């Protein structure tokens, strides 16, 4: 069989599947965004710190399986019987010393890192899903739905977050997952939803929304296929800010001993406080590693957020 | 304007009711209550626990209790504390709230002023190593783990340099023979400091109307005279030593909070200035040939003040959240510490009372923020 000889087949465009065209477009926009992001050393520094902590977390299982004896170095149940007095100062055997219960501080620090990442990511994901959905629906429908959702957002935004979390932590068992979801919902329904909605209002009046409606797209289709993709950049930006806030809140709640997390940076400081080593600055390794880890990881996510802000928000760009 | 205020007031009352309902039922939905905690001893018979629950009214259905609470609340009765029975909640708040507010207001006023001025200058001189160092230092200070930062300040100023006491509200040794209680002196200190600040503020406003060459001197005078008056008043007062005792305990927490809040303000001002500098009216002002300093301070800074103003106003209700951390580290007996201690033992009237007061403060500060917008940005109008 030879090619058909109908006239319109002769002016065919190159056969590119739709998914590939979309992928190429996404890649090229990613590349230009990356170029803009990479211009700013602040964002790169933040990204570097995050990658460092990622490797730090990944190294823990490898070390546990090769170099470290699980009986001595287990972050939760380990105990070093060869050292007479705990907490012991940093040595070759324990690079950051041991805590009051004879556990290796470096091992605890590395073990906790993965949970901090998981908490931050889960909270950020919950926030962005809730905020994008609420923002898009509220902007698209307007009227009574908008009024109800936005008043709800105002109410949640007004809630003093830390006091509410303290009551929740004091009265029921809060683990990592519950905390991530509660934080995600509170951020998602509150401030982030308000910001995303204002962005969604400007997307709603774009011609392609009108075109989609004329083409017969259902409300669901227009919101999730046309509006939400355009809200993703600002949603991503607020995800970064959610991550650092979530990590900070987890640390503070664990510091007060109000969570049921088995090991985290905040808990390491809580153990220090419970055993009365908080104001003894000669045993600095009980306080400093965890506090510096919390501060630097939060700062790194915040720096990346600020650098992304300059990419997403054209009014902050240099040129 | 009056119609706007009326509508806002109605909205505020409704929002407050919803806020109270949300927090009340959220707290009530948690398992256990204070009766379980008070009767933890196995020797106490179970019917005693039931009697205690009935006495505290905890055996009634939650909806009935809530409406009773709301009814009493609008009659000005916040109930009594379970933990320090029968001390009224309103007394606890009256005693603790001024201590927290003084801590936060003084820290925030200083940090917002300094943060605004430095953020403004940093945005003007964009690029180079100054921008990167200041941003990274600012972000690190902004996201610092506050308990650790507080401990570092204690270590540096109280332990190593031994300048200030490490915590608490006062040193009991100085108060053994004192004829009045600490709150009496603290309130008088607050009022006198407020009057001095007001005089200084009015003096600064008046000095702005003078000719430029007299301005600096007039400003200095308007700061030094009230300060000297304040010092003289407490020097000659019979309670001078006691007032100094409280002040010396006050300095370290204020310093910590000022540094912490400074970073946030500096970062917000910088971002907001950068956005404003892109506006057309800045371009016009420059094209007219106005001096750079005038464009920066008169045209850009005033508009860029909007988000900073929001931050300043919202820091008032955030005082409770931040207060819990700072007050724990410095053992400062403010409202945050009272809240934490009440929440841990499920002392629900105190928790609800403090949350409600914070809710009211939040609503009022939102209103003040909105009214302030209209003054700062002439483009914003309320109808």
Q: Has residue A45 been placed in a domain?
A: yes
State whether B198 and B331 are in the same domain: yes
**Cα–Cα distance between A88 and A103 in angstroms, integer?**
10
Sequential DSSP letters for B261-321? HHHHHHHHHHHHHHHHTTSHHHHHHHHTT--HHHIIIIIIHHHHHHHHHHHHHHTTTHHHH
- Helix H or strand E segment including B101: helix B89-124
State whether B43 and B187 are in the same domain: no
Q: Has residue B383 been placed in a domain?
A: no
Query: What ipTM does this complex have?
Result: 0.82
CB contact under 8 A, B18 and A155: yes
pLDDT for the residue A2: 47
Q: Has residue A180 been placed in a domain?
A: yes
pLDDT for the residue B381: 62
- Using 50, 70 and 90 to split pLDDT, how confident is the model at A67? confident
Q: Has residue B65 been placed in a domain?
A: yes
**Cα–Cα distance between A317 and A311 in angstroms, integer?**
7
- Tell me which of A265-269, B304-308, B379-383 is least confident: B379-383
Note whether B273 contacts A: Cβ–Cβ < 8 A.
no
State whether B102 and B69 are in the same domain: no
State whether B295 and B361 are in the same domain: yes
pLDDT for the residue B85: 76
Q: Has residue A4 been placed in a domain?
A: no
For the segment B116-160, what is each residue's pLDDT rounded down to a tens digit?
A: 888 888 888 777 788 888 888 889 998 899 889 998 888 888 888
Name the domain count of chain A: 1
Is the whole-model pTM more than 0.90?
no
Note whether A260 contacts B: Cβ–Cβ < 8 A.
no
Answer whether residue A5 shows pLDDT above 70. Answer: no
What phi, psi does A28 have (nearest 5°)? -70, -35
Share of chain B above pLDDT 70, in %: 98
Answer whether residue B64 shows pLDDT above 70. Answer: yes
Tokens of A286: 């009980």
Residues of B with CB below 8 A from A255's CB? 147
CB contact under 8 A, A167 and B139: no
Q: Under the phi-then-psi rule, with left for phi > 0, alpha for psi from -120 to 50, and beta for the rest, what region is B102?
A: alpha
**Cα–Cα distance between A262 and A175 in angstroms, integer?**
9
pLDDT for the residue A8: 53
Interface of B with A in 22-41 (CB under 8 A): 22-23, 26-27, 30-32
Tell me the sheet residues that pair with A98: A104
State whether B50 and B142 are in the same domain: no
Residues of A with CB below 8 A from B19's CB? 155, 158-159
Nearest C-alpha neighbor of A234 from the set A123, A132, A113, A84: A132
Question: Between A242 and B168, whose confidence is greater?
Answer: A242
Q: Has residue A189 been placed in a domain?
A: yes
Mean pLDDT of the residues in chain A: 85
Q: How far is A261 from chain B (nearest CA, A)?
A: 18
| Highest mean pLDDT of the ranges A1-10, B175-184, B257-266, B317-326 | B257-266
Q: Has residue A90 been placed in a domain?
A: no
State whether B266 and B325 are in the same domain: yes
Domain range for B355: 95-376
**Which one of B26, B35, B82, B143 makes the best mutation probe of the A interface by having the most chain A beta carbons within 10 Å?**
B143
CA dihedral A222, A226, A227, A228 (to 10 degrees): 110
Q: Has residue B345 been placed in a domain?
A: yes
Residues of A with CB below 8 A from B148's CB? 269, 287-288, 291, 294-295
What phi, psi does B345 have (nearest 5°)? -100, 15
Answer whether residue A51 shows pLDDT above 80. Answer: yes
What phi, psi does B199 have (nearest 5°)? -60, -45
Say which of B22, B148, B318 has its CB closest to residue A155: B22
Name the domain count of chain B: 2
Domain range for A55: 40-78+96-312
State whether B44 and B101 are in the same domain: no
CB contact under 8 A, A302 and B143: yes
- Residue B145 near residue A295, CB atoms below 8 Å: yes
Question: Which SS3 state, helix, strand or coil, does residue B144 take?
Answer: coil
- Helix H or strand E segment including A24: helix A18-38
What phi, psi does A132 have (nearest 5°)? -65, -45
Note whether A274 contacts B: Cβ–Cβ < 8 A.
no
Q: Has residue A234 been placed in a domain?
A: yes
For the segment A129-167, what is each residue's pLDDT rounded down to a tens digit?
A: 999 999 999 989 888 888 888 888 888 887 788 888 888
State whether B60 and B114 are in the same domain: no
Share of chain B above pLDDT 90, in %: 1
**Cα–Cα distance between B74 and B368 in angstroms, integer?**
23
Q: Has residue A161 been placed in a domain?
A: yes
Sequential DSSP letters for A30-85? HHHHHHHHHT-HHHHHHHHHHHHHHHHHHHHHHHHHHTS-HHHH-TTT---TTSSS
Question: Which SS3 state, helix, strand or coil, does residue B356 take?
Answer: helix
Nearest C-alpha neighbor of A174 from the set A267, A269, A261, A262: A261
Question: Which SS3 state, helix, strand or coil, does residue B80 take?
Answer: strand
Note whether A170 contacts B: Cβ–Cβ < 8 A.
yes
How far is Cα of residue B366 from the mean position of the Cα atoms in its chain?
14
Residue pairs spanning A and B at CB distance below 8 A: 126
With a CB cutoff of 8 Å and minimum separation 6, the contacts of B115 are B261, B262, B263, B264, B265, B266, B268, B269, B308
State whether B104 and B68 are in the same domain: no
Residues of A with CB below 8 A from B354's CB? 163
What would the mean pLDDT of B56-81 be, rounded to a whole number?
85
| First-to-final CA distance of chain B | 6
CB contact under 8 A, B136 and A45: yes
Q: Has residue A135 been placed in a domain?
A: yes
Q: How far is A166 from chain B (nearest CA, A)?
A: 7
- CB crowding A147-181: b at 16 or more within 10 Å, else e: eebbebbbbbbbbbbbbbbbbbbbbeebebeebbe
- Residue B110 near residue B217, CB atoms below 8 Å: no
Domain boundary, last residue among B41, B73, B105: B73
The domain that holds A283 is classified in CATH as 1.10.3720.10
CB contact under 8 A, B343 and A256: no
List helix spans (H) across B174-278.
182-207, 212-236, 240-276
Question: Between A7 and B76, whose confidence is greater?
Answer: B76
For the segment B339-372, what is each residue's pLDDT rounded down to a tens digit?
A: 988 888 888 889 899 988 888 888 888 888 878 7
Q: How far is A52 from chain B (nearest CA, A)?
A: 17
Answer whether residue B374 shows pLDDT above 80. Answer: no
List helix spans (H) across B125-153.
128-142, 146-153
């Amino acid at each position: 069989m030879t090619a058909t000889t109908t006239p319109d087949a002769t002016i065919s465009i190159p056969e590119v599947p739709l998914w590939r065209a979309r992928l190429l477009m996404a890649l090229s926009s990613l590349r230009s965004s990356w170029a803009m992001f990479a211009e700013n050393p602040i964002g790169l520094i933040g990204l570097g710190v995050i990658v460092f902590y990622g490797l730090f977390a990944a190294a823990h299982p490898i070390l546990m399986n090769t170099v470290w004896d699980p009986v001595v170095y287990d972050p939760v149940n380990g105990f070093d019987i060869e050292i007479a007095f705990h907490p012991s100062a940093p040595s070759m055997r324990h690079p950051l010393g041991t805590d009051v219960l004879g556990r290796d501080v470096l091992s605890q620090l590395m073990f906790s890192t993965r949970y901090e990442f998981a908490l931050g990511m889960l909270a950020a994901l919950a926030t962005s899903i809730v905020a994008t959905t609420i923002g898009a629906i509220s902007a698209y429908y307007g009227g009574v739905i908008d009024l109800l959702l936005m008043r709800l957002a105002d109410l949640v935004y007004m809630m003093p977050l830390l006091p509410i979390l303290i009551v929740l932590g004091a009265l029921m068992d809060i683990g990592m997952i519950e905390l991530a979801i509660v934080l995600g919902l509170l951020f998602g329904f509150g401030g982030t939803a308000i910001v995303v909605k204002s962005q969604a209002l400007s997307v709603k009046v774009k011609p392609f929304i009108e075109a989609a409606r004329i083409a017969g797209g259902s409300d669901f289709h227009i919101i999730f296929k046309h509006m939400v993709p355009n809200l993703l950049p600002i949603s991503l930006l607020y995800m970064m800010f959610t991550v650092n806030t979530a990590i900070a809140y987890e640390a503070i709640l664990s510091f007060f001993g109000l969570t049921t997390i088995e090991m985290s940076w905040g808990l390491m400081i809580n153990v220090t406080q419970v055993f009365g080593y908080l104001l003894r600055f000669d045993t600095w390794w009980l306080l400093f590693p965890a506090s510096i880890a919390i501060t630097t990881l939060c700062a790194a996510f915040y720096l990346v957020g600020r650098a992304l802000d300059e990419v997403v928000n054209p009014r902050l760009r240099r040129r | 304007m009056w119609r706007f205020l009326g509508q806002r007031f109605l909205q505020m009352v409704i929002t407050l009711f919803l806020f109270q309902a949300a927090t009340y039922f959220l707290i009530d939905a948690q398992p256990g209550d204070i009766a379980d905690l008070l009767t933890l001893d196995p020797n106490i018979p179970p019917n005693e626990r039931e009697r205690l629950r009935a006495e505290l009214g905890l055996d009634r259905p939650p909806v009935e209790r809530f409406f009773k609470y709301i009814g009493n609340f609008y009659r000005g009765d916040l109930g009594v504390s379970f933990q320090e029975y029968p001390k009224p909640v309103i007394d606890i708040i009256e005693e603790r709230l001024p201590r927290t507010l003084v801590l936060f207001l003084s820290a925030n006023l200083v940090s917002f002023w300094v943060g605004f001025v430095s953020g403004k200058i940093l945005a003007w001189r964009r690029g180079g190593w100054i921008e990167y160092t200041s941003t990274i230092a600012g972000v690190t200070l902004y996201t610092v783990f506050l308990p650790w930062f507080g401990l570092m300040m204690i270590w540096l100023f109280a332990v190593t340099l031994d300048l200030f006491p490490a915590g608490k509200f006062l040193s009991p040794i100085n108060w053994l023979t004192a004829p009045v209680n600490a709150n009496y002196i603290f309130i008088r200190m607050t009022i006198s400091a407020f009057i001095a600040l007001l005089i200084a503020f009015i003096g600064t406003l008046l000095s702005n109307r003078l000719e430029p060459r007299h301005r600096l001197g007039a400003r200095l005078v308007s700061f030094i005279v009230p300060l000297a008056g304040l010092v003289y008043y407490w020097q000659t007062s019979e309670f001078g030593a006691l007032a100094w005792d409280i002040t010396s305990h006050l300095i370290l927490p204020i310093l910590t909070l000022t540094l912490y809040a400074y970073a946030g303000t500096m970062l917000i001002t910088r971002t907001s200035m950068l956005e404003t500098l892109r506006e057309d009216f800045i371009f016009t002002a420059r094209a007219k040939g106005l001096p750079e300093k005038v464009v920066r301070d008169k045209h850009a800074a005033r508009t860029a003040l909007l988000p900073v103003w929001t931050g300043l106003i919202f820091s008032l209700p955030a005082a409770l959240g931040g207060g819990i951390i700072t007050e724990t580290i410095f053992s400062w007996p403010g409202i945050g510490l009272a809240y934490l201690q009440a929440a841990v033992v499920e002392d629900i009237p105190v928790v609800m009372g403090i949350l409600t007061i914070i809710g009211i403060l939040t609503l009022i500060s939102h209103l003040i923020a909105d009214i302030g917008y209209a003054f700062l940005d002439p483009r914003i109008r309320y109808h």
